[in-house]
Amino acid sequence: MTDKSKKPGGLSRRILLQRGATFAAAGVAGGLTGFPFINKMAVRAQSAPLKFWQFYAPGGPVKTQIDWFDKTVSNWNDSHEQKIELEYIPTSEYVNGPKLATAFASGEGPDVFLISPGDFLRYYNGGVLQDLTPHIDDAAKADFPENVIANRMVDGKIYGLPMEVEPMAMYYSVKAFEEAGLNENDIPATWEQLLQLAKKLTTANRYGVLFETQPGYYQNFTWYPFLWQGGGEFQTEDGKSAFDSPATVQALKFWQDAVNSGVAPRQVMGTGANDTVANLAAGYVAMQNVGIWGISQLANNAKDFKYGVFKLPTPPNGKYVTVGGGWAFVANAKGKNPDAAAAFCAWALASADKGSVGRVVDWCTKGKSDMPPRKSALEAGKADFDQGMIGTFAKNIYPGIRAEPRLPPEVYKIISDAIQQTQLGGADPQATATAASQQLDAFLGSYSGAPIL
Give the helix ranges, DSSP H, for 95-213.
Answer: 99-105, 120-124, 138-142, 146-149, 174-179, 191-201
What's residue 13's pLDDT? Answer: 32
* DSSP H helical ranges for 86-150: 91-94, 99-105, 120-124, 138-142, 146-149
pLDDT of residue 46: 55
List per-residue pLDDT tens for the chain, 453 residues long.
434 333 333 443 333 333 333 333 333 222 333 344 433 444 344 579 999 999 999 999 889 999 999 999 999 999 999 999 999 999 889 987 889 999 999 999 999 999 999 999 999 999 999 999 999 999 999 999 999 999 999 999 999 999 999 999 999 999 999 999 999 999 999 999 999 999 999 999 999 999 999 999 999 999 999 999 999 999 999 999 999 999 999 999 999 999 999 999 999 999 899 999 999 999 999 999 999 999 999 999 999 999 999 999 999 999 999 999 999 999 999 999 999 999 999 999 999 999 999 999 999 999 999 999 999 999 999 999 999 999 999 999 999 999 999 999 999 999 999 999 999 999 999 999 999 999 999 999 999 999 999
> Could you tell me which of 187, 134, 194 has the C-alpha nearest to residue 159?
134
Q: Compute the distance between CA of residue 345 and CA of residue 244 in angstroms, rounded to an integer.
A: 40
pTM exceeds 0.75:
yes
H or E element at residue 115: strand 112-115
Instruction: Determine which helix (DSSP H) or strand (DSSP E) holds 290, and give its type and residue range.
Output: strand 287-291
Q: Angle at the Cα of 314 (from 444 to 405), degrees rounded to 5?
A: 30
What's the one-letter identity of residue 143?
A: D
Judge whether 234 and 411 are in contact, CB under 8 Å. Answer: yes
Residue type, 411: V
- pLDDT score at 61: 85
- Asked if 238 contacts 441 with a C-beta cutoff of 8 angstroms, the reply is no
Q: Which residues pair with 287 in a beta bridge?
A: 172
Nearest to 218 by CA among 87, 363, 115, 370: 115
Of residues 395, 394, 390, 432, the one with CA closest to residue 415: 432
Closest by CA to 157, choosing from 297, 5, 354, 340, is: 5
CA terminus-to-terminus distance, the chain:
7
Long-range contacts of 99-103 (CB under 8 A, 24+ apart): 100/53, 101/16, 101/17, 101/19, 101/23, 102/16, 102/17, 102/23, 103/53
CA distance 433 to 241: 11
Asked if 215 contacts 21 with a C-beta cutoff of 8 angstroms, the reply is yes
Report the distance separating Cα 13 and Cα 10, nearest Å: 10
**Residue ranges of domains in the chain, CATH in brackets:** 13-165+326-398 (3.40.190.10), 166-324+407-444 (3.40.190.10)
